[in-house]
Structure 1
Amino acid sequence: MTPETVKSLALASGFTEARICRADEAWDAGERLAEFVAGGQHGSMAWMEDTLARRQHPTAMWPDAKSAVVVGLNYGPDIDPLAALERTSEGVISVYARNTDYHDLMKKRLKHFARAFVDQTGADVKVFVDTAPLMEKPLAAKSGMGWQGKHTNLVSREHGSWLFLGVMLTAAELEPDAPETDHCGSCTACLDICPTKAFPQPYKLDARRCISYLTIEHKGPIPIEFRAAMGNRIYGCDDCLAVCPWNKFAAVTAEMAFHPRPELKGPLLSELAALDDAGFRQVFTASPVKRVGRGKFVRNVMIAIGNSRDLSLLPVVLERIADADALVRGAAIWALSQLSPDQAKALATAGVEGETDPDVTAEWQMILD
């Protein structure tokens, strides 16, 4: 099958872009990943260490893989995501998570594409959308879809930072596209804007400092040093993506499933803080946000409330200090200390005496100290 036919099948299945690369050639992405994990920069994402051997090269996971067809789907926003950071009474949810979970849509279309490919070639295939130990971004760069910028994410000359990626590995030998060259030049906008300085150097990320990691993957209390820097970001962070100059060529997504639901465009922190388990599940049905669970999510909301300095939010903070979830209680104590230090001190002694969770006790103790 010609490369043009393969790409036509992918585009007909609903993708914005399609490129081809060899899946069985040597590359240095696996070595870079091993260094990342060895340095502990993956934080508490133990699955990265557990699957390292399989993740280092496509053929380590599937020895028969010869070619990779990398597909991209544009999810470009219709607004500047950075503008929402100024509306401190609202929570900011990453652009990709304001509506339907992209995994579901991408997987459905990849399966459609794979069936069409198999019907015409008879070749074995496997499809992936960020749910298996496969490094999609290095494959996308190798295929010519874009390059990994200084923030480690894929950048496209046509779509900027806003591409969801999927991969179809196949045992068929397909003619590959040429890799894309790096067009970052001397620009450091993505590095400079990072609120928590998560990039120790260009092309290197320390996930432990990344707000996306902290708000989504991190299971415990948010480390003190990062709380103020989080601002009102309550799920993910788009700063390094949104500031990229290549976004000037990006178009707004045509996928209605990626347009933000009205209630998630600028959700009020007061309403999000009041969500119980059932309410959380209802609001975030079919959303990627649902997977973090109500406890971690409301923890993030409490941090945003503390950063808001909005005294009208005090009542909801006081409610959450009595929350059944220790993670929420601890974050609410910090929020109270930011909004009303005197009130926090007045409650701290009784709080220490009545608390059984050590992390929550530590939050009260910091106020007394």
Structure 2
Amino acid sequence: MDYHQLADQIKLWAKQLGFDKVGICDVDLSEHEAELQRWLDAGYHGDMDWMARHGMLRARPDELLPGTIRVISARMNYLPPQAQFASNLDDPSQAYISRYALGRDYHKLVRNQLKKLGEKIEQAVGQLGYRPFVDSAPILERPLAQKAGLGWSGKHSLILDKDAGSWFFLGELLVDIPLPVDTPASNECGKCQACMTSCPTGAITEEGVVDARRCISYLTIEFAGVIPLEFRQAMGNRIYGCDDCQLVCPWNRFSDVTEQTDFHRRDIFNDPDLVTLFEWDEETFLRNMQGSAIRRIGHEQWQRNLIVAMGNAPYSGRIIATLESHQGRSELLDTHIEWALAQQYQQLPQTNNKHQRLIRIIQKGLPRDA
């Protein structure tokens, strides 16, 4: 078997399957284990207990699939046409949704294409041990991507490529054949710290290190509890994820729009009015989010995020009426509704005693029954 020729063929097949770049690396991630342990020990993973539970398994692909000696790392662009970043973020009456989630959930699509790639390789070599991964197992996908030459880990911890920026999904195919490896990517961030200084909540604590507990993407997607007061105003109108660290990155000037129509904006998000999205009942939410990554956070968390955004919106009688009409339905939602109402009341030229009391409670972080 000419493995160099096979590697070239694999990259051609990957292109035909919709991947924008593919690289190959070995499975040695031992140099990242100490860094991973420090991150876990600092508690930066927040409520994502599965990260600590799997421990160093994330840095040992050959333990996930015994016999693995190579990882085929692949990326697929997702930036939709007419992304409308600035206009959407600048209109606080509309919900901002991270651009990766505007279309179809990428997990199944990318995994299916990786599976097809594995099948093509198996047909060529006769017998192959392989397994595709797309956020489906504990694996350090970004260090693997850098080692495979797909890009370098930026100061925001995301993979960057000088020809494509960072608007892409990653996936891995573990294999048990000795393919030639690619040259790791070198870091091209230089002295730039735009991502660090622009983070709304200061979640990037040092170069390449993100405290998930402060990250808006974590707070709106992974975290199901009461959003800490200190982060609510910084969330603005971001109801699912946050793209700020990517938006300011100079390398993203070179990003290509995705060729995958599945990642294009859904029609339902063409006019993402906060109140309209909030008033979806659970059945409507599940129906509208069918096949979307957003569906997994559930209806209550969706509404919680929208309540915070409504609190950050300009004064609106419609918002106040909507929030007041939903009080008493959920303890989690009530906590955020009271805060959002106080935010709205503060914008009134005059406030009555009820409004002043609510404002005092929120500003001082007092218990709700104070």
Calculate the TM-score normalised by the size of structure 2.
Answer: 0.91
- 1:302 and 2:311 correspond: no
Q: Which residue of 2 aligns with 1:119?
A: 123
Q: Deviations over 1:199-255 (max 9, x none)?
A: 111111100000000001111110000000000000000110121111111111111
Q: Which residue of 2 aligns with 1:355?
A: none
Counterpart of 2:34 (choices 31, 36, 44) is: 31
Q: Which residue of 2 aligns with 1:356?
A: none
For residues 258 and 32 of structure 1, the distance between their equivalents in structure 2, rounded to whole angstroms, comes to 33
For residues 100 and 234 of structure 1, the distance between their equivalents in structure 2, rounded to whole angstroms, comes to 17
Q: Which residue of 2 aligns with 1:280?
A: 285
Corresponding letter in the other structure for 2:121:
F
Summarize the alignment of residues 96-115 of structure 1 with structure 2, pairs less than 5 Å apart: 96-115=100-119
Q: Which residue of 2 aligns with 1:321?
A: 327
Shift of 1:279: 1.4
Q: Which residue of 1 aligns with 2:52?
A: 49
Counterpart of 1:60 (choices 55, 60, 63) is: 63
5+ residue gaps, structure 2, are: none
Corresponding letter in the other structure for 2:11:
K
For residues 346 and 125 of structure 1, the distance between their equivalents in structure 2, rounded to whole angstroms, comes to 61
Shift of 1:62: 2.4
Counterpart of 1:345 (choices 310, 334, 354) is: 354
Q: Deviations over 1:310-361 (max 9, x none)?
A: 32311111122232x2211211111111111546835969xx9xxxxxxxx9
Shift of 1:362: 6.0
For residues 29 and 302 of structure 2, the distance between their equivalents in structure 1, rounded to whole angstroms, comes to 40
For residues 320 and 346 of structure 1, the distance between their equivalents in structure 2, rounded to whole angstroms, comes to 17
Counterpart of 2:99 (choices 95, 99, 104) is: 95
Corresponding letter in the other structure for 1:27:
S
The number of equivalent residue pairs is 354
Q: Which residue of 2 aligns with 1:21?
A: 25
Q: Deviations over 1:245-267 (max 9, x none)?
A: 11111111111111101221441
Corresponding letter in the other structure for 2:354:
K
SS of corresponding position for 2:166? coil
Q: Which residue of 2 aligns with 1:357?
A: none
SS of corresponding position for 1:200? strand
Q: Which residue of 2 aligns with 1:206?
A: 211
- 1:150 and 2:159 correspond: no
Deviates more, 1:221-230 or 1:245-254: 245-254
Q: Which residue of 1 aligns with 2:224?
A: 219
For residues 87 and 140 of structure 2, the distance between their equivalents in structure 1, rounded to whole angstroms, comes to 31
Q: Which residue of 1 aligns with 2:246?
A: 241
For residues 147 and 166 of structure 2, the distance between their equivalents in structure 1, rounded to whole angstroms, comes to 17
For residues 224 and 108 of structure 2, the distance between their equivalents in structure 1, rounded to whole angstroms, comes to 25
Q: Let me know the Cα RMSD of the aligned residues.
A: 1.9
SS of corresponding position for 2:170? strand
For residues 363 and 153 of structure 1, the distance between their equivalents in structure 2, rounded to whole angstroms, comes to 38
For residues 304 and 39 of structure 2, the distance between their equivalents in structure 1, rounded to whole angstroms, comes to 28
Q: Which residue of 1 aligns with 2:90?
A: 86
- 1:11 and 2:15 correspond: yes
Deviates more, 1:80-89 or 1:196-205: 80-89
Pick closer, same or farther for the CA change 1:186–1:80 going to 2, 3 Å: farther
For residues 278 and 353 of structure 2, the distance between their equivalents in structure 1, rounded to whole angstroms, comes to 19
* 8 Å Cα contact 1:82/1:242 also seen in 2: no
Q: Which residue of 2 aligns with 1:191?
A: 196
For residues 100 and 88 of structure 1, the distance between their equivalents in structure 2, rounded to whole angstroms, comes to 25
Q: Which consecutive aligned stretches of 4+ in structure 1 deviate over 6 angstroms post-superposition?
A: none
